[in-house]
Amino acid sequence: MADYPGFIAIETGEEDGLPLAIAWSLPDGRIKQTLIQPDDSWISEDTNVMGSYSIEELESLGVSPLDVIRELETDHFSATLYTSDNGEDEAALARLFDTYGLDPFVELAPAQVLYEAISARDWHRLRSETFNDLGFEPMRPEHEIEVMLTLHKQLTEKD
């Protein structure tokens, strides 16, 4: 069985870095995903930044930010995780950790650095094509991870 790098994606709300949902891959290619319960410090009474989720959905179906951090620590302590480089993942991850005054124990890097044979531009083009081929939505973290795993398999088989 292949040993995959760790990929991570975080869906954010309209406010900078408000984490709503998170997904990451495991070395065997499995994907963990969950909605995230908003911390009280993240939202105000008049906030409507939950994207396609209601506060009730996030509170009842999501897990606490601290539980997300603990699970991530179990799976990827002191690891480099790879993102689609959309710019939102780093801010959202920082917000998760900042809520508890913690320093992130993972580093993020753009996934395209894993593939020396293609340019960042080509990687993003292939990513878009893979989303279309699989019929996935780019804003859903679990779909983002599935696309990055699929691309990784395709790009490393050619080597």
CA–CA distances in Å: residue 152 to residues 3, 9, 73, 82, 121:
11, 15, 23, 11, 16
Question: Has residue 76 been placed in a domain?
Answer: yes
Task: Say if pTM beats, i.e. exceeds, 0.85.
Answer: yes
Domain total in the chain: 1
pLDDT tens digits, one per residue of 28-82: 999 999 999 988 888 765 555 566 788 888 889 999 999 999 999 999 999 999 9
The CATH number of the domain where 143 resides is what?
A: 3.30.420.10
What is the model's pLDDT at position 159? 47
For residue 3, being part of any structural domain is answered with: no
Do 105 and 68 meet the contact criterion of CB atoms below 8 Å apart?
no
- Mind listing the pLDDT tens digit for each residue in 91-110? 899 999 999 999 999 999 99
CB 6 within 8 A of CB 27: yes
- Range of the structural domain that residue 42 is part of: 8-157
Q: Residue 14: inside a domain, yes or no?
A: yes
Query: Which whole-number Å values give the CA distances from 114 to 6, 84, 125, 144, in the listed order?
Result: 11, 12, 16, 16
**Residue 56: predicted pLDDT:** 84
